[in-house]
Amino acid sequence: MAHARATPRSEEPSLPRVAATPDPTDLLSQFNLAFSLMSVIPLLICCYLITVKFFSIEILAGMNGIYFLLAILFALLGLWRGRQVLRNVIQQLVEANRQLALAHDRQATFVHNVAHEVRTPLAIVKGALDNLADGLHGVLTSDQVEPVAMSRKEIDRLKRLVGDLLDVARIEAGKIRLLEAEVVLQEVLQSVARLLGPQLHTRGLSLAMDLPEQPATLIGDADRLKQVFLNLFANAAKFTKRGGIRVRLFQAGDAFQVEVIDTGPGIPEDDLERIFDKFERVGSQDEEGSGLGLPIARDIVELHQGRLWVESHVGQGSRFIVRLPMARSASTRAMPPSP
């Protein structure tokens, strides 16, 4: 599950339009110009035939001339009628696109507002449960400890889901802002490893970090990149029952590449892209998750002008690959390439 940072209520302005509708006037102007040029084609053909002496002006005398003029007229009428039909089609497509964009706006705004409103009561409930667990209202009995612990766990899960929904709404609205500062990838990866180390140890999984000594420096948002790798590490741990996780960092051309490799069950080829669809869950449904972590991670990587994809075979584990452009100042301090 992706990690989301809480944002104070006062910092939540309304969402802007998430998609811009094409300008109908501009589309129709381009269409009219194209058809105006097409309508000249019959006249140009006539001029060409006369020039190369396929026929002369005398041939147009009498009924031949009438037939020729009728042919030109029908050609122009056909072009005019085709223009009307295609114009109507374009207008319908523009209107349909406008309606879809409006519906998407409303949906994104609704999700954002609901998630934002739910966050405050969740914080209150979590605070009350924490007080109960800490014994501020008296020592819990043996029968009360388990339900309180279960409730705290579910509240934490709901908070993560609300954070993910807010991130999705911000990203789709183009509202998410990334800090631009020098980031050392080794520090981000080691920080994530420290956070998930106890969880991996509890599950009996190993964690191998293959990091170069030369700092891998890029320009980006350290917190958002940490969110990406926290999700990838946690996702690998969630679906790995035995073995462990290996993390590799190396230079690939003018970019840094991070690979998170697990020994899990692998992903079927048909599902390799589906796992990046919002609310899509592939594989075992027993594990907790909203289906938002990987889509958010990919969006954040793309906001850093990078790429996130996965390579996997059933029964052979998965390799999640993140490629991020290095800082310009770091391009002259090349790291050793991948072994």
**Two structure tokens written together for 119:** 């966050």
Write down which residue in 176, 200, 218 finishes a domain: 176
Do residues 211 and 274 share a domain?
Answer: yes
Q: How far apart are CA 221 and CA 227, in angstroms?
A: 10
250 neighbors 20 (Cβ within 8 angstroms): no
Q: How far apart are CA 132 and CA 83, in angstroms?
A: 73
- The amino acid sitting at 140 is L
Interval 172-203: pLDDT, tens: 767 777 888 999 999 999 999 998 888 888 88
Do residues 223 and 170 share a domain?
Answer: no
What pLDDT, on the 0 to 100 scale, is given for residue 332?
Answer: 39
Which one has a higher pLDDT value, 39 or 105? 105
In a domain, 335, yes or no: no
Do residues 10 and 147 share a domain?
Answer: yes
In a domain, 339, yes or no: no
Interval 62-113: pLDDT, tens: 666 666 667 677 766 766 776 777 777 777 888 888 888 777 677 667 666 7
In a domain, 337, yes or no: no
In a domain, 149, yes or no: yes
What is the domain extent for residue 114? Answer: 1-176
Asked if residue 117 has pLDDT above 80, the reply is no
DSSP-assigned letters across all residues of 161-183: HHHHHHHHHHHHTT------EEE
Do residues 124 and 227 share a domain?
Answer: no
Do residues 237 and 325 share a domain?
Answer: yes
Closest to 238 (Cα-Cα) out of 309, 287, 296: 287
Do residues 160 and 188 share a domain?
Answer: no
For residue 89, CA distances in Å to 23, 28, 99 come to: 15, 11, 15
In a domain, 316, yes or no: yes
Question: Into how many domains does the chain fold?
Answer: 2
Do residues 203 and 146 share a domain?
Answer: no
Do residues 250 and 170 share a domain?
Answer: no
Do residues 219 and 161 share a domain?
Answer: no
In a domain, 51, yes or no: yes
- Threshold 0.85, pTM exceeds: no
Q: How far apart are CA 244 and CA 32, in angstroms?
A: 62
Mean pLDDT estimate for the chain: 76
In a domain, 338, yes or no: no
Do residues 172 and 206 share a domain?
Answer: no
What pLDDT, on the 0 to 100 scale, is given for residue 142?
Answer: 80
Strand order across the 318-325 sheet: 206-210, 244-252, 255-262, 318-325, 307-312
Closest to 18 (Cα-Cα) out of 109, 95, 139: 109
Do residues 191 and 152 share a domain?
Answer: no
Interval 194-240: pLDDT, tens: 988 888 888 889 999 999 999 999 999 999 999 999 999 988 888 88
- Reduce the DSSP state of residue 322 to 3 states and report it: strand
What pLDDT, on the 0 to 100 scale, is given for residue 334?
Answer: 45
Write down which residue in 142, 176, 210 finishes a domain: 176
183 neighbors 219 (Cβ within 8 angstroms): yes
Do residues 163 and 67 share a domain?
Answer: yes
152 neighbors 126 (Cβ within 8 angstroms): yes
CATH number at residue 316: 3.30.565.10
In a domain, 66, yes or no: yes
Strand partners, 244: 206
For 290-317, what is the mean pLDDT?
88
